[in-house]
Amino acid sequence: MNTNSQNTFEVNFDGLVGPTHNYAGLSVGNVASLKNAAQASNPKQGALQGLAKMKALSDMGLKQAVLPPLERPDVHVLRQLGFSGSDEQVITRAAKEAPSVFAATCSASSMWTANACTISPSSDTQDRKVHFTAANLSNKFHRSIEAPTTSRVLEAIFTNSEYFSHHEALPMGDHFGDEGAANHTRFCQSYGEQGVEFFVFGKYAFDNSKLFPKKYPARQTFEASQAIARLHQLNKNKTVFAQQNPDVIDAGVFHNDVIAVGNQDCLFYHETAFLNSDKVIDDLQTAFGESPMHFIKVPESSVSIFDAVHTYLFNSQLVTLTDGTMAIIAPGECRENANVKAYLDSVIAGDNPISKVEIYDVKQSMQNGGGPACLRQRVVLSESEMNASNQAVYINDALFGTLNNWVEKHYRDSLSESDLADPQLLVESRTALDELTQILNLDSVYPFQL
């Protein structure tokens, strides 16, 4: 089991962009997703951009791993919906008879592994195991079909029951809508010590008298966040719940990680992010203890919500470097926006733990509605827990080269919505994924392999 005497690391598990990466504009409330609907995508470029970011963080001395994409189109779900025949007949018929449903089963959204699950490290849980709960993502049909395969992938990587505990996704339906780590942040002095787990939700599902957004849906409920905290056996005194500001949801802030990001003792957030913001900050500091946290509040006068949403400033990664300082891993759009660039320059010059900003091109992800932080799931692991997990998924020079060659071999340079019904694309994708499971030592995790 994990002990404080062991070295403990935060590992970034990045989602690999899949061979059917496409822009179908499926996500209401996600401005970028809707804006770029029906444009041709470049799956090969998207995957290579993501791998380049993974390798760069690994080269910085951070622990980095990869999560595989899901199988798309999801023929298994199409069969559940009444389409029959051979796999080729299923996708041909679905694309013709129910094109919107078919497009949803082709979604590339599993690449955003911030939504894959919520994870609590062993130092926070009563049984001293690392807990995983796959997100049900019930608010969007195209995402609600992800949890079964996501759970199999997590169980194939974190298999040892002495160290890891896996939970089923919460019950489907609006009342327990759960969007995973995109609405969950952990604060701590050092990664191996007990931390504060911070859950941000969009609405109370069982109390209509409370405030809620009017234009776009609140995807995470208070009740779902409470359920995750119970399942993960968290200390109530070290758990903080906060409601997202309904007005920023209606401005396109569909998850908390579009308006706030935290790491260790630092919270970088927009002043409009939370309801009752002062109380939220007080609650976090009380749960954190005597040592003062660093709260970097970004005023609307410096960075508007509009600029935050369109550059994904807060959907950057906030990571601790080997020298103990922090860096913001930001998308290229933050450098292109004068207001955001100026603010980031002021943060680096200010009195706070953030010492640098690193810019990476993840435009294929950005155009589909997700920045650097969407692409990764943070997993805190002790040395023993790392050793007990699947070693084949951790990025090193050899795996980086192998995955780049795999992408070059299997991925298309351009993919339009009409291409998704091409039966040959299904064959290409399954061939690629079958090979990937061998590279990553995952056994059989995809429906076509079962």
Q: Quick one: pLDDT at residue 9?
A: 97
Q: In which band, very low, low, confident or very high, does the pLDDT at 108 lie, cut at 50, 70 and 90? A: confident
Q: State the greatest distance between any 2 C-alpha atoms of the chain, in Å, as a whole number.
A: 64
Q: In which band, very low, low, confident or very high, does the pLDDT at 3 lie, cut at 50, 70 and 90? A: very low
Could you give the dihedral angle defined by the CA atoms of residues 339, 343, 346 and 352, in that order, rounded to the nearest 10 degrees?
180
Q: pLDDT over 70 for what percent of the chain?
A: 96
Mean pLDDT for the stretch of residues 380-397: 98
Q: In which band, very low, low, confident or very high, does the pLDDT at 302 lie, cut at 50, 70 and 90? A: very high
Residue ranges per domain, the chain?
Answer: 8-72+107-449
207-211: long-range contacts (C-beta < 8 A, 24 or more apart)? 210/243, 211/243, 211/246, 211/275
Q: Which residue has the higher pLDDT, 224 or 367?
A: 224
Q: Quick one: pLDDT at residue 370?
A: 87
Residues across the chain? 450
pLDDT over threshold 90, residue 35: no
List C-alpha distances in Å: 88 to 80, 94, 106, 285, 420: 16, 10, 14, 56, 12
List C-alpha distances in Å: 229 to 124, 212, 423: 10, 22, 43
The token pair at 142 is 């195209």
Q: Which residues are catalytic?
A: 179, 255, 374
Q: Mention every residue, 6+ apart, whose C-beta is less than 8 A from residue 343.
A: 298, 302, 303, 313
Q: Mention every residue, 6+ apart, whose C-beta is less than 8 A from residue 50.
A: 14, 15, 16, 17, 111, 362, 365, 375
Query: How confident is the prediction for the chain on average, in pLDDT?
Result: 94
Q: Quick one: pLDDT at residue 417?
A: 86
Q: Mention every residue, 6+ apart, whose C-beta is less than 8 A from residue 81.
A: 94, 98, 101
Q: Quick one: pLDDT at residue 5?
A: 57
What pLDDT digit, counting tens, does each position of 240-274 carry? Answer: 999 999 999 999 999 999 999 999 999 999 999 99
CATH superfamily of 8-72+107-449: Succinylarginine dihydrolase (3.75.10.20)
